[in-house]
Structures are given as C-alpha cells and as structure tokens.
Amino acid sequence: MALDTIIDFHNVSVSQADNLVLSDVTFHLKKGEFVYLIGKVGSGKTSLIKTMNAQLDVKEGEAFVAGFDLKKIKRKQIPRLRRKLGIVFQDFQLLPDRNVYDNLLFVLKATGWKNKKEMDERIVDVLNRVGLVFKGYKMPHQISGGEQQRVVIARSLLNDPEVILADEPTGNLDPDTSEEILKLLKEISYSGRAVVMATHNYTLLKKFTARTLKCEKGKIVEVDHTAEIDFTSLMME
C-alpha cells in the first residue's frame, strides 16, 4: 500500500445482516482526495460507509482505513479508528437541548479530552473553519439547516481526522446551501483529509466534477468522466 493511501479495499464483500450488498469491492483513496459515492437507493452506499467506519464487519477481502486492518480489528481498537474518521450525517444528529458550543464540548469529553482551555481553543478553531465562530451560543433550532450541517462538519473535525465520511450531507438542504456545504467539504480535502461524499444530488455532481465511484448491480465501478454520465438512471426509484 502506497504511503499516501488512506483507504484501501481489495476484493471486499460488504454485507448487512448476512445479506450480501456489494461484492469484489476494490478501490483506494489517497490523502487529500475528494470522491463522490453515487448509486440508487439501496445500492450499497451507506453500507459501504458503515464498513469503512467498522459498523459492519469485513469477512472477505482486504480493507485498510487510516492504518487499521478492518478484517482483523479488535472491538477495543474501533474507538481509536473512529477518532481518525469524521462522520457527517444527512439528519445532523445534534443534541437539541444543548447549544452549538456544548454539542461540540460533549464530543470532546466523550473522546477523552480533559483540559478546558484546550477544548475551548479546539471548538473555536473548528467553528472558525466552518464560518460559525459567533454562533456557539445558539441552540440548534435557532440556526438554519445549512448552519446545522456546518456544525456537524465542525463536529467531524474536532479530533483532526484523516478521513471525512459524508453520507448524503446535502440531502435536506436547498440548492444554494448544498453548494456551500460541498465547497466546504472540498476545502477540507485540500487540507490533506480524504473526503468520501455519498450523494443523490446530481446537479452538484455535474457542476463540481470529481472522482466518482458508483454502486451498481452489487459492484463498485469507477465512473469515466470523459464519458457522459447517465444521471437519469441514477435518480431515486
């Protein structure tokens, strides 16, 4: 595996509850690379992301993420793996009874941070990265959907991850806000973090081209951007 490779899958079978979702999954991702993950509903995008963060076991093939062998990883090692991963959800999953600052503080405490000054500096840093440094006192319901997703991205950056896994991060957002979130994720990749973005937003895909992996008929295929993508075949059924 090359030194700059951060995710490396070779002939991996992706299964959920003994149901084979994807077979012979082979791809690699380098540090600082941005990749779209596309495909119809139920084609395996979310299952692949869950495999990358060790929610689903790897039983066949070889899979390495951020230096961890997912086939041999022990339960006690999974929290260490996940500290190297930042997860961005479609539905935000912010704690509604805490303000933005306290949502981020909760994650730092849960991942072993102790020093109050260091925690405060880290929260200010990640909020600054996503353009919300003056919104820390706001409750989630007091900010827009786009701002909530920026908080989620800030949360994903707290432990300085090597990989960002974004599962439909623009799914609940309007077109202009979706573009802002995509640009933010691309900026994050420029800082050396690999970003995997599962998406159904093919307007974004056409407007901001990047390497694209497609889940199709139980396989992963790389989309050739020199050819025209048939976007209509990818829309939700």
180-225: pLDDT as tens digits: 999 999 999 999 999 999 998 888 898 899 999 999 999 999 987 6
Q: According to CATH, what is the number of the domain 32-51+84-234?
A: 3.40.50.300
Which pLDDT score, from 0 to 100, does residue 202 have?
85
Which pLDDT score, from 0 to 100, does residue 97 have?
95
Going from the C-alpha of 121 to that of each of 5, 95, 116, 131, 218, the distances in angstroms are 30, 21, 9, 15, 45
- For 181-184, the CB contacts below 8 A with 24+ separation are 181/146, 181/149, 181/150, 181/153, 182/208, 183/208, 184/130, 184/150, 184/153
Output the pTM of the full model: 0.89
Which pLDDT score, from 0 to 100, does residue 72 have?
94
